[in-house]
Structure 1
Amino acid sequence: MTEPHDDYPIFLGSEIEQPEMNNAFFHVLPVPFEKSVSYGGGTAQGPSAILQASWQLEEWDGKSKPCQHGIYTHPAIDCNVSAEQVIDNIAKATKLILDNGGMPIVFGGEHTVTYGVIKGFRDAGYDDFGVVQIDAHADLREAYEGDKLSHASVMKRVVDLGIPLYQLGIRAFCEEEMQIREQHGVHFQDGEELVPNNIQSITLPDDFPEKIFFTLDIDGMDPSVFPSTGTPVPGGLGWYQTLNLFESVAKQRTIIGFDIMEFAPIKDFHAYDFAASLLTYKMMGIVERNSSKVK
C-alpha cells in the first residue's frame, strides 16, 4: 500500500482529521484497480476522484453526522502487481479493518475488487453472510475472454464460495448467467421490474443471512444520473430509488460493509465525482441510523 497523498486525500478531510485507526468505525479503502474493463475505461481514477470530491461535503448528511463515529482513510492498494496479488492485498487490508472492529467502505476500480473484499471477510472468520448487489450486469460468467478474475465474472466467484446473492437492477446478462442464477439459487429483482414500477424497497427471503455486504456498481444506476462509468446501460435505478433500496436492506439486516465500484470520472464534470462521494456518505448515514453496532 502507499501512503495517502494529494491524489488520495482522507475522506471528508475538509471537515475532519484522520482519527486513530482503532477510533474509527468507517474505514475507507481506495483500490484503483483496472485490468479487465471491456468497454470504456477510467475506473482506476474513480477512488481518487471520490476522495477529492468528498472535501466538498457537509458533515450533516441531512439527517445525522455519520463522521462523528470516525472515518479512517487507508492508503490506496498498490495495483501495479498481478491481479492475483491485488486480490490478496485487498483481502489483507479488509481483514485488518475487520480485526480492528471497523466497517470496510471500498472504492474501486473495476468490480473484480469486490472479490478481494469478500475473501477478506472470509479470512477474518465471517462465514455466514450474504451479498446484495446493485448492478446493470449480472457478472455471473464463469470467465470473460478467458479471464476468471474479470469484472464480468466477479459474482460467479462469490457464489462459488457458497455465499448467498441477491441482485437488484440487472438489465444486461447472457444465457449462461441465467443458468448460473438457477444453479446457485440467486435471488433477483431486475431493472425491468424495479424501474417501471418505481419499487423503493425489497423484502429479503426469511432464510437470507443476517449479515449483508452490499456492493454497488455505479452502472446499476441510470446513465442519466451517472454517465461516468465504462459500461452504461439504459433503464437503471434513480438516485432516491437506489438509496431507498439500500435502506430497505439496512432496516432488515445488519450491513457489515459496502463498496462503490466502476466509477469512471469524466474530465471537468465534477458533478458526478461529487455525486459518487455524496452517495457514499449518505450510505454511511443509513448504516449509522439503522445499526446498533455503530460505535
Structure 2
Amino acid sequence: MEIKHWEYYEAANPQIWKGRVDGTTDDHLRWHQIIKCIDLKDNKDLSSYFILLGFACDEGVKRNHGRAGAEKGPEVLKKTLANLPVFSGENTKIIDAGTVNCQNGQLEAAQESLGFIIHLILKRGGFPIVLGGGHEITFGHYLGLKANYNKSIGILNFDAHFDMRKPQQQIATSGTGLYQIALLEKNIRYLPIGIQKISNTKILFDTARDHQITWIEAQDFQIANRSRIKKKIKSFIDSIDHLYLTIDLDVFAACYAPGVSAVAFNGIVPDAFFLEIFHFIISSDKLASIDIAELNPEYDCDNRTAKLAADLLFRLVND
C-alpha cells in the first residue's frame, strides 16, 4: 500500500524557487534563497520546519461543476512565495516537500496518498502547510491527521460553503469533504466561518444542525461582533486537542480573491479585523496544520488571490 501512495508523489522541484536577489546577508534574504527542497522518500528529520506540500488536484471541483484550474494552484503559490522576504534569519525554517498529484481523475487514491504523506510529515516532526488544489484537499488532509493523533481534532474552516454535501452515488467532490469526515467521527468538531446563505442550500444548514455544528456567517463577521466571535472561536479551540485550519479562498470578496473555483462577490474582506482573528487562531499552541484551498490561477487577475494566500502564509511563518 505504501508503494501505491508514492506513485502520486513528486519530489520538490528547485527550479520553482527563483526570484530577485538583493544580497546574501541575512537582512537581504528572500524565501527562494533559504528554502530546502527535498524528496520525502529520503528519511529526513523534519523537526522545527514548516513543510510546504502541494496537492495538485481539482478533480473534486470538476465533479462539483466548478471552474477547473486549481490543480495549477500549488506551483503558482510556491512561485509567489519565492520572493517573500526573510525576517527571522536562521529561525525561518521552510522545506518544500514536493507535491501529491491527482492522476487520471483518481481523486480518492490521491486523497489517500495525501493523508499518507501528511502522516509521514507529522511523524517526522514537521508542521504541514498544504497548498491546493480544490477543497477536496480537506478529506485527504484529515486522514493524515487522524492517522497521527489519538485525541480530538477540530476543523476550523474559513469558507463560504459548509462542504457537507452528501456524496451522490458515493462519488466524492470538493463539496463533500466535511460530510465524509462526519461519517468517520461520532462527533465531528467543526467550526465554519464565512458561510453565505446564497451559497448553501437549506439541506446543508439542516445537515450542520443535525451534527450540532454552529457557524459564523460572512455578514456577521465584522468588528462590531469582535467579542462574540473571539469567544466562539476560543470556546471551540478549548474543546479540542488538535486544531486543523483550512482556508478556502472563496471565502473572500471577489475583488480580493478573483482566482478561485467559485467566486463570492460579497465575501469576507481580509482587513485588519480579519487579520486580528487570523493571528488569534494561528497563535494557538494546538494548531497542528493548515491548508490553502481553491486557488485557481486561470482566473486570478494580477495574481491577487495568490498574493493574498502568500500573505497569510507569510504571517503564519513569522507569527
Q: Same fold (TM over 0.5)?
A: yes
Distance 1:146 1:43 in 2: 24
Contact kept, 8 Å, 2:52 with 2:95, in 1: the verdict is yes
Of 5, 26, 36, the residue aligned with 2:13 is: 5
Is residue 87 of structure 2 the alignment partner of residue 40 of structure 1? no
Three-state SS of the structure 2 residue aligned to 1:30 is strand
Q: Cα distance, 1:268 vs. partner? A: 6.8
Q: Cα distance, 1:78 vs. partner? A: 2.5
- Which residue does 2:192 correspond to in 1? 167
Distance 1:244 1:124 in 2: 30
Q: What are the equivalent positions in structure 2 for 1:8-27 lying under 5 Å apart?
A: 8-9=16-17, 13-18=31-36, 21-27=45-51
Percentage of pairs with the same residue: 18
Three-state SS of the structure 1 residue aligned to 2:100 is coil
Three-state SS of the structure 2 residue aligned to 1:76 is strand
Q: What are the equivalent positions in structure 2 for 1:96-111 lying under 5 Å apart?
A: 96-111=120-135
- Which residue does 1:290 correspond to in 2? none
Is residue 97 of structure 2 the alignment partner of residue 74 of structure 1? yes
- The code of the aligned residue for 1:161 comes to L
Q: Cα distance, 1:195 vs. partner? A: 4.1
Contact kept, 8 Å, 1:4 with 1:10, in 2: the verdict is no
Greater per-residue helix proportion: 2
Contact kept, 8 Å, 2:92 with 2:317, in 1: the verdict is no
Of 185, 202, 206, the residue aligned with 2:230 is: 202
- The code of the aligned residue for 2:191 comes to Y
Distance 1:147 1:7 in 2: 39
Inter-CA distance 219–85: structure 2 relative to 1 (3 Å threshold): same
- Which residue does 2:179 correspond to in 1? 156
Distance 2:259 2:224 in 1: 25
Q: Cα distance, 1:67 vs. partner? A: 7.2
Contact kept, 8 Å, 1:7 with 1:52, in 2: the verdict is no
Is residue 168 of structure 2 the alignment partner of residue 136 of structure 1? no
Ranges in structure 1 where 5+ consecutive residues have no aligned partner? 287-295
Which structure has the larger Rg over C-alpha atoms?
Answer: 2
Ranges in structure 2 where 5+ consecutive residues have no aligned partner? 1-8, 20-29, 38-43
Distance 1:102 1:252 in 2: 17
Aligned-residue RMSD, C-alpha: 2.6
